[in-house]
Amino acid sequence: MTEFDPEKFEDKYVHYFSQLQQAYKSAFNRMNDEYDSQLIHAIDQQVLNESEPFYEGDGEFRIDIPENPHERVTAVIVDDEKLDAVLSVYLDYINEELKAVFDLRE
């Protein structure tokens, strides 16, 4: 586990790049095991590639994603409702993995 410093997280790509990669990869692997791999790859490459994690305090993270994810996902055909549902779970998993990597789970 990595010692987490909220102030260092403001410059996360300098201090915590490998931990961020680990959290995103773990979330990807979980999603890939549970959902259609083509959809997960599309979300990963076309939406989450420009996502930004932020530390909110009290062990909580927020993952900002680009606007209009429905328009960005072009590698697969998926209706908006399904994309929203899968993306929501994916963001939850990333959040859980960030907490795990930084030992912030309750």
With tokens 């909580």, the residue in question is 60
Q: Is the pLDDT of residue 1 over 70?
A: no
What is the C-alpha separation between 31 and 19, in angstroms, rounded?
18
Is the pTM value of this prediction over 0.75? Answer: yes
**So where are the chain's domains?**
6-101
Give me the pLDDT at residue 71, please: 95
Say what the pLDDT of residue 52 is: 96
- In tens, the pLDDT along 29-73 reads 999 999 999 999 999 999 999 999 999 999 999 999 999 999 999
Q: DSSP string of 72-101?
A: H--SS---HHHHHHHHHHHHHHHHHHHHHH
Judged against a pLDDT cut of 70, whether residue 104 lies above it is answered with yes
Count of CB atoms within 10 A of residue 34's CB? 12
Task: Provide the pLDDT for residue 3.
Answer: 83
Using pLDDT thresholds of 50, 70 and 90, give the confidence band for residue 2: low
Pairing of strands 52-57, 60-64: antiparallel
**Helices 17-34 and 37-46, packing angle to 10 deg:** 150
